[in-house]
Amino acid sequence: MLTAILIVLPVFGLVMVGYSAIRFNLLSEKAGIGISEFVFNLGMPALMFRTLVHAEFPSNQPWGYWISYFGGALGVWVISSLISGKIFKQNSTEGVVAGFAAGQSNTMLMGIPMIMQAYGKAAEVPLFMLIAIHLPIIMTLATILAEGRKASVLTLIKRLVTHPIMAGIILGLIIRPFGHYVPEFIWKITDPVATAAGPCALIAMGISLHRYGIEAGWKQPSIISFLKLIMHPLLVYVLASYVFTMPPVWIGVAVLFAACPTGVNAYIFAAQYRQGIGLASTTLTLSTALSIFTIVMWLRVLGV
């Protein structure tokens, strides 16, 4: 228990630094926006780029690993969407927001720092094998469901390619075969930016919690938070442990990836369609607060 708590404390400690800095006027909202922009537009893309150029990936594609994670994500997405329509009588777009909030993990702000704290460099390959396809799959699915037949392939491609984190992934994949020829001064520029991404992401997470707050009551966000923090990682754990075969570290990374709270992209998506904004912001805040306890639980289950 103590080891698990010591893994989680630095992560949530930095989240509280960000929250407290805004709460007690040590930082302005403009500064908070600036930190978030640094994380999404520079820090995380640099981290994606550096890791994809240097990491040693397995020769065979880990289909069982991907199926385990996205099978769990799809399961909670469907359940959350059905609850949205059948119980809360929300429209189809609000149902997509509810599903998005249950199935999309906060990988950039929470997942990477927490998983690296738990497993160290051993987590790099399985972690970035998920990150490389997580955003494209989730965003594409959500957009198609929200727009139906109106969803344009060109629009989908444009949104993905112009996303800063996807740009870092694409550039890393392009440069990867020529990584040995990259001049040293490039890494001396890239490394500090990439290293700053983790702590800045957690501070930005704390700032975002203060900004979004609680707007949609507790009932539905509590259900979605349960699906996100308990059901999603449980489904992934069962699939990764009992249906497919993979190393323990890969199982742990997939489960902790799924155990992360709802990501800020759920709020961004809701704001884009002007549907379910309060639901997304409340779920983001509530799931992040509850994840302090549920992540410790999952670390115990995984034996970290």
pTM of the predicted model as reported, rounded to 2 decimal places:
0.77
CA 90, 93, 98: angle at the middle one, nearest 5?
Answer: 70
What residues pair up with 262 in beta bridges, in sequence order?
A: 105
Q: What pLDDT digit, counting tens, does each position of 232-291 carry?
A: 999 999 999 999 989 999 999 999 999 999 987 787 788 777 888 888 878 888 888 898
Query: Alpha-carbon distance 116 to 281, whole Å?
Result: 26
Nearest to 209 by CA among 249, 267, 254: 267
Nearest to 265 by CA among 135, 158, 160, 162: 135
Amino acid in position 40: F
Indicate if the pLDDT at residue 111 is higher than 90.
Answer: no
The CATH number of the domain holding residue 176 is: 1.20.1530
Confidence of residue 214 (pLDDT cuts 50, 70, 90): low
Instruction: Report the domain count for the chain.
Output: 1
Cα 113 to Cα 15, 63, 121, 176, 257: the distances in Å are 11, 25, 12, 23, 11
Residue with tokens 């020529």: 178
Residues of the domain holding 18: 2-302
